[in-house]
Amino acid sequence: MLKSFSIDTEYESYLVVDMLPGASDLIEQELGGLEFLKQTLDGVSTNNIWVNSNLRGYAHSILSQGSFALVDPKSGHRYPLSATYTFEDLQTIFFFFTDNSPVGLVASDLAAGFPLSTIILFERKIIIHLTDSFWRLGSSHFATMANRGDQVVHECAPDHGVCLVAGDQNFAHHAWNELSSLQEIADQGFDRTASLAVAHEPLGPVNDILGSHFKVIHKFPKARIPEINRSGKITFCSAGTVIDSNLVEKIVGFAEKNLSAFALEVRDKVASRPGSSLWVSVRTRNRTLSEQVEVMATLIKDYLRDRTDRMVIIDGHSLPFDQDTDAPYNQELNVEIARHDALVADQIVAAVKQDIPDAEIVRFVGRKIHESIAVGLHAGFYFCHHGTVQHKLGWFSGVSGLVHCNRDILENQPANWVKQQSRVASLPVYLPADLIGEASENQELGALQQHLRHNDYKILDVHRASRIIAEFADTVERSV
């Protein structure tokens, strides 16, 4: 008979412990009765190892064997995985081991490839965090289960299937974390045995891009993930942390087969000017450049002046491939963001053409994401905001470029990190910190915005920035 047990979803009733490196003996002594905690931690570490470049050990075990094991820190017995719960934020998964003393493992943080990061001892009411990730288990997760009426965990049947869950609506995370792992899974043949539930496909249908054979459950809104959890299958998200050249080839190949007439026309124009085109971005949501119209118009005019062989493409918010089949509220949000970006782009174009009437300048804001990727790879170089607009070129081609952002981001010296996420990327060059100022000292940001460093900024010396662009352009053109 299948087992079940109830979870106490009052997060505040648990003792929460942060496990520091090498502190397992101390934790055992303080908590008592956990004499096998070190073996538990060793097992978690083993299951977190990358079996392949984008597939963790526990994910491989689930796909190949239907389960992975956990050592009970109290008894030392090894228990197989018996149930899972995937949260609709696609940032957190519960793994339950429900034998004599129910224990839970939590994988969290999509960008980190979902490491097993928390141990929950339900009977002892103890939560042991193994990482300090912003995305780790918190009170909101238990509240979600309570609100959904999912406090009772039911053991899956021995003949359960496996259902992967994917569909981050941010295309960069979708490619970098989700498609990277799904490609590994398909390469090993697990796409023929695992189902795939997809919330968003911003770059196109997963199977069409990867050439895979997942049994794709009809696209669903994230609010319906509880239905997937109740399907009787082991459900979880698998994530990688690097875009390899094979995945780039597949994404670009699919994109090039699905270009609109306008995108084809722009691509041919850009390709006909090797090294002599500049791809720039506008951004109006967050991490916004102050006086964006005036600054960008000046930089573009300086780049184009007396150079009829050059052209500029203005990019911004792009629409996902599945925009037309997305939930209405997502459609409206994407259209609204693109509309605001397009208004700024139009003002920049008008300002440029007032001084240079014959300027070759194209507005590409609001096109599909895959079109920006396919067209952008022909650009000479870019001058973009830090983030997804840069990634359209920087992660899917070897195009080099300049990046601007706020001081908070610059403090982390992000260039190497950005390059390391893609095997085909060139090292981006960030504007120097002494050229950047804060737009407002009193800008109010929420916790998530602070974590993502969403504060606005300004370029203190536009003419100096223009000289940097000019030098970069000369280097690019000489290399062609």
- The enclosing domain of 414 has a CATH number of 3.40.50
User: For residue 452, what pLDDT is reported?
Assistant: 46
Mean pLDDT of the chain: 91
Q: How many C-alpha atoms does 1 have within 13 Å on its Cβ side?
A: 2
Looking at residue 446, its pLDDT comes to 56
Angle between helices 369-376 and 245-256 (to 10 degrees): 110
In the beta sheet, which residues pair with residue 92?
Answer: 108
Query: Are 185 and 270 in the same domain?
Result: no
What is the tally of helices (H) and strands (E) in the chain?
A: 18, 24
* Residue 175: band (very low, low, confident or very high) from pLDDT cuts 50, 70, 90: very high
Write down the H helix ranges in 356-440: 369-376, 388-394, 407-410, 415-420
- Residues 226 and 285: their CA atoms lie apart, in Å, by 31
Cross-strand pairs, 280:
314, 383
Which of 103-107, 148-152, 315-319 has the weakest average pLDDT? 148-152
CA-to-CA separations, 390 to 35, 372, 376, in angstroms, rounded: 50, 11, 10
Token pair listed for 5: 């047990």
Q: Are residues 266 and 338 in the same domain?
A: yes
**What mean pLDDT is predicted for residues 136-165?**
88
How far apart CA 98 and CA 293 sit, in angstroms, is 59
**How sure is the predictor about 148, in pLDDT bands with cuts at 50, 70 and 90?**
confident
- Domain match, 263 and 212 both: no
- Same-domain check for residues 122 and 167: yes
Same domain, 232 and 249: no
How far are the Cα atoms of 3, 49, 269 from residue 159, in angstroms, in the given order?
Answer: 15, 27, 56
Q: Are residues 409 and 360 in the same domain?
A: yes
Do residue 218 and residue 257 come from a single domain?
no
Task: Give the whole-number percent of the chain exceeding pLDDT 90.
Answer: 75
Residue 35 confidence (pLDDT): 87
Q: What would the pLDDT profile of 357-375 be if each residue is shown by its tens digit?
A: 999 999 999 999 999 999 9
Give the list of residues 6+ apart from residue 272 with CB closer than 8 angstroms, or none: none
- 15 phi and psi angles, rounded to 5 deg: -85, 120
Statement to judge: residues 8 and 101 lie in one domain: yes
d(C-alpha 331, C-alpha 66), whole Å = 37
In the block, residue with structure tokens 């089949």: 325
**Integer Cα distance of 222 and 314 in angstroms:** 32
Closest CA to 373 of 462, 248, 278: 248
**From start to end of 354-476, where are the E strands?**
361-363, 381-385, 401-404, 429-430, 436-438, 457-459
pLDDT, one tens digit per residue, over 328-338 is 989 999 999 99
CB within 8 A of 9, min separation 6: which ones?
A: 142, 143, 145, 146, 151
Would you state the pLDDT for residue 357? 97
d(C-alpha 128, C-alpha 111), whole Å: 21
| Number of domain units in the chain | 2
Better-scored residue on pLDDT, 87 or 424: 424
Residue whose structure tokens are 């109290």? 74
Both 143 and 98 in one domain: the answer is yes
- Angle, helices 57-65/180-187, rounded to nearest 10 degrees: 40
Pure H helices in 152-291: 171-173, 180-187, 206-210, 225-229, 245-256, 261-271
pLDDT for 98: 79
Indicate whether 12 pLDDT > 90: yes
Residues 229, 251 within the same domain: no
Among 409, 412, 404, residue whose Cα is nearest residue 429:
404
Residue with tokens 């009193």: 442
Final residue belonging to a domain, choices 207, 236, 265: 236
Last residue within a domain, chosen from 236, 261, 279? 236
The amino acid at 197: A
Structural domain including 294 reads 245-479
Torsion angle, CA of 479/387/365/91, rounded to 10 degrees? Answer: 140
- Report the SS3 class of residue 154: strand
Tens digit of each residue's pLDDT (9 = 90 or more) over 429-474? 999 999 999 876 555 555 544 544 568 999 999 999 999 999 999 9
Distance of CA 145 to the CA centre of its chain: 24
Q: In terms of domains, do 319 and 442 share one?
A: yes
pTM: predicted TM-score of the whole model, two decimal places: 0.93
If you count them, how many residues does the chain have? 480
* CA-to-CA dists, residue 18 to 119, 131, 215, 262, 357, angstroms: 10, 8, 40, 54, 62
Q: What is the mean pLDDT of residues 277-293?
A: 92
Neighbours of 328 (CB within 10 A): 7
Q: Which of 236, 263, 289 is the C-terminal boundary of a domain?
A: 236
Enter the DSSP assignment of 136. S
The radius of gyration computed from the CA coordinates of the chain, to the nearest angstrom, equals: 25
Residues 467 and 328 in one domain: yes
The rounded distance, in Å, linking the Cα atoms of 81 and 387 is 37
Alpha-carbon gap, residue 167 to 206, rounded angstroms: 10
CB burial of 186-203 (b: ≥16 within 10 Å; e: otherwise) equals beeebbeebbbbbbbbbb
